[in-house]
Amino acid sequence: MHWYNQDGQPAYEVENKSKGGMRPTTLRDAKQLNLVPSVTTVMDIMDKPGLNVWLQDRVLESALTMTRIFGEPDKAFIARIKQDSKELSTLARDEGVRIHDSLESAFKDRTIDQRYRTICNKVKGSVCEYFGTSDGWIAETSFSHPMGFGGKVDLHNTNIVADFKTKEEFKIGKNGKVVKMAYDEHCMQLAAYAHGLEMPKARLVNIFVDYDGNTIFHEWQEEEIARAWEMFCLILKLWKLQKRY
């Protein structure tokens, strides 16, 4: 879970009074400190079809590539498959995080890890070409909204709110087209971010980035955004009722 204070500043950790240092902020801490949950924390109560398929694929990959030990019980073999798929998922997630962090540095004109410079240059060039501008971009702005949620926005300017989604690769379906990557939860996240930035009429765009720096842009339409915002408001209400928040 990620949390923000009323000023919109991240409050991911709190002081560990018993052991010293810091520890992750819990729901109990958040209630005591009057923090607000992140958009993604709120949406964690939703089913996510795209993520579910991705996780299932990792399990199947492990099952297909692992060799069963002679005489190994089913339960033990299944446990090894699960552990291996978890490790694969962690490796993929960590690489996505590194690319994401590098993109933040690129748009903040900071030094970029040499391994990701080519990717960042390609992505930054694609973004500027798609939107027709290289000026005014602001990366990683955090906020707190009076309705009781917060977040940190990947990229925005005066009339655009964008969110990066990293993919190992863009999968091609039997019809020769890229398999669907944009789902309702992506639009809901962006709609919430737009309201959090007090930009409810902004253009909302998901930017899918593969590990080679190729990009696919998905821009949401006005009627989709209105529907997504209404859905997020309902999910936020449900989250608060579930958590007694």
- Residue type, position 114, single letter: Q
Q: State the DSSP H helix or E strand holding residue 164, giving kind and residue range, or none if neither.
A: strand 160-167
The residues spanned by each domain of the chain are 1-37, 38-243
The reported pLDDT for the residue numbered 203 is: 97
Using DSSP, state whether 178 is helix, strand or coil. strand
In sequence order, which residues have a C-beta less than 8 Å from that of residue 134 and are 6 or more positions away? 124, 128
Model-level pTM? Answer: 0.84
Long-range contacts (CB closer than 8 Å, 24 or more residues apart) made by 238-245: 238/45, 239/37, 239/41, 239/42, 239/45, 240/148, 242/45, 243/27, 245/27, 245/30, 245/31, 245/37, 245/148
| Cα–Cα distance measured from residue 35 to residue 148, given in angstroms and rounded to the nearest whole number | 8
Whether the pLDDT of residue 83 is over 90: the answer is no
Question: Could you give the percent of the chain with pLDDT greater than 70?
Answer: 96
The reported pLDDT for the residue numbered 36 is: 97
Sign of CA dihedral 47, 48, 54, 55: negative
For the segment 84-140, what is each residue's pLDDT rounded down to a tens digit? 787 766 676 788 889 999 999 999 999 998 999 999 999 999 999 999 988 899 999
Angle between helices 74-107 and 49-65 (to 10 degrees): 130
The reported pLDDT for the residue numbered 163 is: 97
101: its two tokens: 């962090």
CATH entry, 38-243, from 3.40.50, 3.90.320, 3.30.70, 1.20.950:
3.90.320
The reported pLDDT for the residue numbered 34 is: 95
Q: State the DSSP H helix or E strand holding residue 233, giving kind and residue range, or none if neither.
A: helix 222-243
The reported pLDDT for the residue numbered 89 is: 62
For the segment 161-211, what is each residue's pLDDT rounded down to a tens digit? 999 999 988 988 888 888 888 999 999 999 999 999 999 999 999 999 999
Q: Nearest Cα to 245, choosing from 150, 149, 151, 152?
A: 149
Whether the pLDDT of residue 55 is over 80: the answer is no
Higher pLDDT, 157 or 133: 157
The reported pLDDT for the residue numbered 66 is: 84
